[in-house]
Structure 1
Amino acid sequence: MSRSLLIISRQAPWSGPTAREALDIALAGGAFDLPIAMLFLDDGVLQLAPNQKPQNVQQKDLTANLQALPMFGVESLYACSLSLQQRGLTDTSLAVEYLDDAGLRDLVSRYDQVITF
């Protein structure tokens, strides 16, 4: 029986390799049919901002990886409503479910394993 995995991404896309590593693990796990979800929290919600220009800060574009998540079976995507609001994001590049504090607690409790990046 496969165990479910929630990956929490808390890092901005241009703050180093951490955001990319979280996406790589999600894509790899999805390729092996593991039940995986991703939660974008804190600065991690900045990965969802449309029209990013990562080349301006000499980083790689994560857009293709983010868009590939559903193709790899990672269809449960969540974002913290408060994190989005605090960063002024009203529009996201992906279809994600917005969660308040109660929703976040419920989400984490539903998964066997939780990894935070």
Structure 2
Amino acid sequence: APSFVFVDEIDAIAGRHARKDSRSRATFEALITQLDGEYAAFLFINYRKEKTGVDRFSLRQAVIFICATNRPDELDAEFVRRGRIDRRLHIGLPDAKQRIRIFGVHSVGKKLAEDVDFGKAS
């Protein structure tokens, strides 16, 4: 089964400012090395599969790297280049109807004042 690696606020380690000081640069370069290592292993395993005919899983299928940021414009170009971060998914803010549903989900089992109106709060 695949493993998921989720990093929130990825811009903190992969933003354009990530290489300004030596510690940040080392963290950024380690992340890039890991991402490139996964890709290199993927190419090697696929090559072996074609050569031997053995159906092996690739590391690309085994490790799924997901990251989130509120500042996609701040991400370093080296980090988001093709082959490292291949897909982007924009998740916008919820509209009023969605916010009411979110409030409803998170208020289940909680004692609320009688005058609470999620419509007004959204």
TM-score w.r.t. structure 1 length? Answer: 0.36
- Which has the larger Rg? 2
Pick the structure with more helix per residue: 2
Pick the structure with more strand per residue: 1
